[in-house]
A and B are shown apart, each in its own frame.
Chain A
Amino acid sequence: MAKASTKTNAQNLQGNNACALAAVAAGCRFYAGYPITPSSEVAERMSLELPKVDGTFIQMEDEIASMGAILGASMGGVKSMTATSGPGFSLKQENLGYGVIAEVPCVIINVMRGGPSTGMPTRPAQGDVMQARWGTHGDHQIIVISPASVSEVYEQTVRAFNLAEQFRTPVVLLIDEVIGHLVETVHVPDPASLDVVDRKWADVAADKYRPYEAGKDMVPAMARPGDGYRVHTTGLTHDESGFPTQDPETVDRVSKRLLNKFDPHRKVIDHFEELNVKDAEVLIVSYGISARAARGAVKQARDAGIKAGLFRPVTIWPFPEKALVKAAKKAKRILVAEMNAGQLSLEVERVLGRDRVSGVNRIDGEAISPADIIDAIGKGA
């Protein structure tokens, strides 16, 4: 049909649709969710794509059940995903914690809208940064990724599945409403050309298998259902056998393994973009749609002779602190641009100290514009 389009493989694709296509390309074969604006197109597209690849789509009774279903599917050996927005993400937190402690690979898409509560369904926000980090209770680590374009939604959705599989962890993709609903011209890669990672399956003798015993990489191998291994899975703190324990020495050991699990892998997990940071006196730190505004603002500021730069974390949790310290070396001022009242800026302050850091914030349901950032750069000069 579309000759010009198929030749270059270019198509105009919406962020939410790109997410669904990438999920299937990454091997996702199970989706459970409860549709909610502005994420509903992810569910809609999954319901169309999964049947084509013998996958399963379930519209669940609510978000809590959806989260439970994708954990169950993943424990059953299938890559799984759910998508939601703020109110639904709140509901998923308890089961998300189960995914963390039971080390169940899965991907949660949160297309952020104005909050708290039902807030503004169709308006953009980036208010779930801290919830994604700390929404479920107890000390824990989690991987959170925030893409800034439709093509990056595709890339990072694939990457989210790969990280979830490689490190046996839930991975959250934080998309803002603007990027979720934005249509951009993208070149969708041939799924066969993608690097797709599958989890490490147990291959020891069945009587030697200990479900939560990890080697140097700190990631235990999973038992594939049907391979004859006996596995017990629980949300209670468990030892390497998978059964609950409250023995202080054991609890300390297994908890620390879980908390430090990502440490040897930060080179793979950390992901960021830098623009003109080397000599930057004003460094903008931003992510998602706000980083697109920052990109424009940095170039405009440079044209005006101001040494501005951009540090854009793509993986926002764990936060790429080492890279930020390096990027901020010459900066006299750090501006954190985000559509909330100041969330990632808390982390930037933790890393760089409070003296240099201030925020460029909007909480009125409108995206931050390049002009907003230019104004903020000008105010401190």
Chain B
Amino acid sequence: MRVAAKKAQDNKSPEEFEIRLSGSGGQGLQLSAKIFARAFSDEGKFVAQSQSYEPTSRGGLSRSDLVVGQGEPDYPLATKVDFMLILDQLAVKKKDTAIGDGALVIIDTRLVTDPPKGNFRVLALPLSDTAIGLGNPRVANIVALGAMVGEGNLCSLKVMETAIRQCVPKKFTDLNIAAFQEGLKLVSEKST
């Protein structure tokens, strides 16, 4: 039996983008990616999410990628990311060819001491310090989500909040929503 080939797709449109969330194991990057995936698919987009991590529960390079578009992508793995988060120096490569030209790269001021350099915009934000201020350093990943959505205009805030509520443990819902709001504030303060 012959199956129909997928229709030809145009080159990357603004509706198609790639995101990379990187840092070290235990920082909640896989959860952040899951929240993103949930939000994008709730908006009717198609998401391909892949991950790479080392066989330790904490520490080691951890990375989660999303390829977002209107239908199943030919290639589901990220090749040139448009939006990147770096939460640990471990995830900084000297010459990172996976970061696309003009990409937005958000890094943590405290944990990333030597930012990547290239033909892209690096935005250093106190993500982990903000999380510590909220009483729990572990929500830095959610502060980061707020900053990425706010600065990159990636999806509707309401849909993001719903996705956060669906993906985080119930007793931490309020903390995570607060972290998301603080992340949004970090970038709105910056632009005013």
Residues of A within 8 A of B (CB): 1-2, 4-5, 8, 10-12, 121-122, 149, 151, 178, 181-185, 267-268, 270-276, 289, 292-293, 295-296, 299, 302-303, 310, 314, 323, 367, 369-371
B41 and A12 form a contact (CB under 8 A): yes
A185 and B41 form a contact (CB under 8 A): yes
A149 and B76 form a contact (CB under 8 A): yes
With A274-B5, A299-B9 as contacts: A2 and B166 at CB distance below 8 Å: yes
Within 8 A of A (CB), among B18-63: 34, 37-38, 41-55
* Chain B residues bordering chain A, tally (CB within 8 A): 36
Residues of A within 8 A of B75 (CB): 292-293, 295-296, 369-370
Kindly report which residue of chain A lies nearest to residue B37, judged by CB atoms.
A12
Residues of B within 8 A of A (CB): 1-6, 8-9, 11, 34, 37-38, 41-55, 72-77, 79, 159, 166
- Candidates A122, A273, A274, A302; contact of B55 at CB < 8 Å: A122
Q: What CA separation (Å) do A302 and B8 show in the bound complex?
A: 10
- Candidates B41, B44, B73, B77; contact of A11 at CB < 8 Å: B41
Q: What CA separation (Å) do A283 and B107 show in the bound complex?
A: 43
Residues of B within 8 A of A303 (CB): 11
Shortest CB-to-CB span from A101 to chain B, Å, is: 28
B41 and A10 form a contact (CB under 8 A): yes
17 more CB-based (< 8 A) A-B contacts, given A181-B51, A271-B1: A4-B42, A5-B42, A10-B41, A12-B38, A12-B47, A149-B72, A182-B48, A182-B76, A184-B76, A185-B41, A185-B45, A268-B1, A271-B3, A273-B2, A276-B5, A289-B77, A323-B2
Residues of B within 8 A of A272 (CB): 2-3
Residues of B within 8 A of A268 (CB): 1
- Candidates B47, B51, B55; contact of A184 at CB < 8 Å: B47
B74 and A151 form a contact (CB under 8 A): no
A1 and B6 form a contact (CB under 8 A): no
Shortest CB-to-CB span from B17 to chain A, Å, is: 15
Jot down 28 A-B pairs with beta carbons below 8 A, ordered by A: A2-B38, A2-B42, A4-B159, A10-B41, A122-B52, A122-B54, A178-B76, A182-B48, A182-B49, A182-B76, A183-B37, A183-B48, A183-B50, A267-B1, A268-B1, A273-B3, A274-B5, A276-B5, A289-B77, A292-B75, A292-B76, A293-B75, A296-B73, A296-B74, A299-B8, A310-B5, A370-B75, A370-B79
